[in-house]
Amino acid sequence: MAADVNLGHTTARLNHKGEPCSGTIMNQISNDAAPKQIAAITTVRNDAFFLEKWIQYYGAQLGLKNLYVFLDGHDQILPEAARDINTLFLPRQPLERVPAMRRRARVMSDLARGLFRYFDAVIVTDVDEFVIVDPALNLSLVDYLSSPHSTSTLSGLGLDVGQHMELETPLDQTKPFLDQRGFAHLSSRYTKPNIAFRPVTWGSGMHRIKGRNFRIDPNLFLFHFGMVDYQLATGKTADADRLATGWTGHLSRREQLFKIIAESKPIDGDDYFEQARKYQTRHRPFYALNKPAMIPGNPVVRIPERFRGII
């Protein structure tokens, strides 16, 4: 059975396997739309492992010269992968977690605002977050974002990937994450407006745009891998910088993901993604009407096979 997939102002048709039907307009996008110049920004401290993954992925998608990494502190050591990207060392000025996150969002917004003098779009993420176009479309991030979009920002559907402690072994860091992890929590915390087509001001954690609504794109996903491995994730609680700035409680709450996944009855992702988008679009927390509410019941999905090997 075929299904229509919305591509901004165009519609493509997918077969029952989620693959493009022959002759679809999908294959014309990269040819009909002039490629946009797109930059990606992140900040990082004490996280060389995810930084290397971030550079590898976004470098392949956007080009290494279009990546901007801001390091929190002159004591940070750059990995070899960072030699061909743009880097800036910010002065280390520790703050408690909440004010630090607010300051970081303001800095990222200001940096992105400057880049819009040179770029058509800017992607702003944490170092463990990866914006992915549905592989069924067979399009790069540049090709997809170069098609017409009428909104100032786009959000991918947030997938919080974690290790299933009963079914999955510790992470082999030399192999792709999605070859080793098959489950994700559908979390609105990661349905974030990471992609901007004009200057905006992000709120703390880039979870919302100040003064603007959000739009969840039907073909974009934001994969969060902060909890992709139990040992790697729980090791962060021993990070002296995090302990000194009030991150202990936050990290402990984040570790609940392992319990959520282990105790879940997973849903097939393709059977639930559209329902999740609709829920997060229609429901808002009363304290922040410009970001999505959490879906009741902590739904966990099986990540479709077509995502394997991407990250």
* Cβ 75 vs Cβ 45: under 8 Å: no
Q: Which residues contact 253 (CB under 8 A, 6 or more apart)?
A: none
* Cβ 130 vs Cβ 223: under 8 Å: yes
**4 within some domain:** no
**1 within some domain:** no
Indicate the average pLDDT of the chain: 87
pTM: 0.86
* Domain total of the chain: 1
| Per-residue pLDDT at 98 | 83
| Per-residue pLDDT at 26 | 46
**184 within some domain:** yes
Other beta carbons within 10 angstroms of residue 174's beta carbon come to 5
| Per-residue pLDDT at 1 | 38
Instruction: Give the integer Cα–Cα distance in Å for 118 and 41.
Output: 14
**15 within some domain:** no
CATH number where 73 lies: 3.90.550
* Cβ 48 vs Cβ 131: under 8 Å: no
* DSSP states of 188-237: GGG----EESS---B-GGG--BTT----EEEEEEEEEEEESSHHHHHGGG
Low-confidence residues in the chain, pLDDT < 50: 1-17, 20-28, 30-31, 247
Helices (H) and strands (E) in the chain, counts: 9, 13
> Residue 136 carries which side chain, given as an amino acid letter?
A
**20 within some domain:** no
| Tens-place pLDDT, residues 172-214 | 999 999 999 999 999 999 999 999 999 999 999 899 999 899 9
| Domain range enclosing 281 | 33-307
First to last CA, the chain: 29
| Tens-place pLDDT, residues 143-160 | 999 999 889 999 999 999
| Per-residue pLDDT at 93 | 84
Two structure tokens written together for 4: 């229509």
CA distances for 242 relative to 52, 228, 248, 252, angstroms: 21, 19, 7, 12
**28 within some domain:** no
**91 within some domain:** yes
**231 within some domain:** yes
